[in-house]
């Protein structure tokens, strides 16, 4: 079997390309290896969903793209990021990325809108700021466009609302404000980090529908970070499944959701409640990996029901499961047993 990452040529028509990205964080007890060789692609006008449990590296991947890895304690140690066929980041030069890309052609909606907004500034001031900074508009011109953007995200009485402060908005309204702020610079790629967290189901659906509508209108690429497979089914063209700082499965969303190729993704799917049948949820055994270690084997092996000896000896490459669907699991190797058993891999 061929290694999908190594043998796949770069596609310059792709909007975003991340290749073999490593990110470390220095802590009191040593180093956290948050990303351990992440490679993924976002195609122009398409939606990529990044899924996985907390701590798998989803948000760190977004922070690396935006140049938001903390200068003190965090650093990209290896890999490259390309945007629109041009190198955004290579080696250890984050200055180019921050200056030329973040906030202009790539925008981000953060997970908690209340913490993402300044409580001492009006909504209008905060939406207009990127227009003044990045496009050189006057404050009055920025305010005018801020009203238009609030109308676009369906906030009523926009002329009144731009004069109000974040505490005067509900959670769903604040998320709409964050979307308006991200659209101010007319980005080619929008990153949404858990955009529906802490919102009720009705508001969640409204926010997702709004993002989909804006994406169609502006032919914008969208990267959604989520742990909700329902969001993936509703929004995503493609999926990248992350575990232990790596991408362990990727491909077309309908194929992965219908028939996951990696035992971890199979576990995530089985842990979702079935509204049609009253059945107990199936939990994934064990605990998440210790990211203070740089793994030289499959980090999911201690939790995997199909663990084999090779799983604790070597890191699996991305094998082809079917067309446009790859999985980093030794079960897809030509020599893998047809009916694998748990071998030499103790569970936590």
Q: What is the pLDDT of residue 330?
A: 93
Q: What is the pLDDT of residue 171?
A: 86
Q: Of 110-114, 173-177, 210-214, 275-279, give the lowest mean pLDDT range.
A: 275-279
208 phi/psi in degrees, rounded to 5 = -65, -40
Q: What is the pLDDT of residue 220?
A: 92
Q: What is the mean pLDDT of residues 144-149?
A: 93
Q: What is the pLDDT of residue 1?
A: 38
For the chain, domain boundaries: 4-105+189-282, 113-184
Render pLDDT for 61-115 as a digit per residue (tens, 0 to 9): 999 998 888 877 899 999 999 988 888 877 655 444 444 566 678 989 888 777 7
Confidence band (pLDDT; 50, 70, 90) for 13? Answer: low
Q: What is the mean pLDDT of residues 53-66?
A: 92
Top-confidence residue, 86 or 261: 261
Q: CA 232, CA 273: separation in Å to the nearest integer? A: 15
How far CA 32 is from CA of 22, 29, 91, 269, in Å, comes to: 11, 9, 19, 28
Q: CA 246, CA 255: separation in Å to the nearest integer? A: 20
Q: What is the pLDDT of residue 115?
A: 78
Among all chains, which residue has been given the structure tokens 């629109």?
A: 84
Q: In what order do the strands lie in the sheet with 14-27?
A: 30-43, 14-27, 74-83, 86-90
Render pLDDT for 189-240 as a digit per residue (tens, 0 to 9): 999 998 887 778 888 888 899 999 999 988 899 999 998 898 999 999 999 9
Rounded percentage of the chain residues whose pLDDT exceeds 70: 90
Residues 15 and 221: beta-carbon distance below 8 Å: yes
pLDDT above 60 (res 348):
no
Among candidates 320, 343, 335, 316, which has minimal Cα distance to 261?
320
| Dihedral angle, C-alpha 160, 162, 165, 167, nearest 10 ° | 70
Q: What is the pLDDT of residue 87?
A: 83
Q: What's the whole-model pTM score?
A: 0.86
Work out the burial of residue 136: count CB atoms within 10 Å of its CB; fewer than 13 is exposed, 13-18 middle, 19 or more buried. exposed
Q: 85-94, 250-259, 281-290 — which one is most confidently predicted on average?
A: 250-259
Residues 37 and 17: beta-carbon distance below 8 Å: no
How far CA 83 is from CA of 78, 80, 164, 245, 324, in Å, comes to: 17, 10, 36, 21, 22
Q: What is the pLDDT of residue 72?
A: 76
Provide the 10 A C-beta neighbour count for residue 249: 26
Q: What is the pLDDT of residue 2?
A: 37
Residues 100 and 65: beta-carbon distance below 8 Å: no
Between 3.20.20.120, 3.90.1010.10, 3.40.50.300, 3.40.190.10, what CATH number should domain 4-105+189-282 receive? 3.40.50.300
Average pLDDT of the chain, as a whole number: 85
pLDDT above 60 (res 3):
no
Written as six digits, the tokens of 323 are 């067309």
């Amino acid at each position: 079997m061929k290694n999908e990452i190594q043998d796949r040529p770069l596609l310059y028509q792709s909007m975003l390309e991340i290749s073999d990205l490593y990110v470390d964080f220095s802590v009191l007890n040593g180093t956290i290896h948050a990303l351990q060789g992440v490679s993924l692609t976002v195609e122009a006008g398409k939606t990529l969903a990044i899924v996985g449990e907390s701590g798998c590296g989803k948000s760190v991947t977004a922070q690396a793209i935006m140049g938001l890895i903390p200068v003190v304690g965090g650093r990209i140690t290896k890999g490259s990021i390309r945007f629109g066929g041009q190198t955004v980041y290579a080696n250890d030069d984050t200055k180019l990325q921050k200056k030329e890309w973040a906030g202009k052609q790539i925008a981000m909606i953060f997970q908690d809108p209340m913490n993402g907004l300044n409580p001492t500034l009006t909504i209008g001031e905060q939406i207009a700021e990127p227009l003044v900074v990045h496009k050189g508009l006057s404050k009055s011109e920025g305010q005018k466009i801020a009203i238009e953007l609030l109308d676009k995200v369906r906030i009523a009485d926009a002329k009144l609302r731009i004069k109000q402060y974040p505490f005067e908005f509900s959670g769903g309204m604040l998320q709409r404000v964050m979307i308006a702020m991200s659209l101010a610079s007319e980005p080619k790629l929008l990153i949404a980090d858990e955009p529906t967290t802490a919102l009720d189901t009705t508001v969640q659906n409204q926010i997702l529908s709004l993002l989909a509508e804006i994406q169609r209108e502006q032919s914008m690429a969208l990267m959604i970070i989520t742990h909700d497979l329902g969001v993936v089914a509703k929004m995503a063209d493609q999926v990248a499944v992350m575990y232990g700082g790596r991408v362990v499965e990727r491909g077309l969303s309908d194929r992965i959701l219908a028939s996951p190729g990696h035992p971890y993704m199979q576990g995530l799917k089985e842990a979702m409640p079935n509204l049609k049948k009253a059945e107990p949820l199936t939990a994934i055994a064990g605990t998440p990996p210790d990211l203070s270690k740089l793994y030289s084997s499959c980090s999911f092996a201690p939790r995997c029901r199909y663990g084999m000896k090779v799983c604790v000896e070597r890191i699996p490459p991305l094998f082809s499961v079917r067309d446009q669907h790859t999985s980093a699991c030794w079960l897809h190797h030509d020599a893998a047993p047809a009916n694998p058993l748990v071998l030499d891999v103790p569970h936590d």
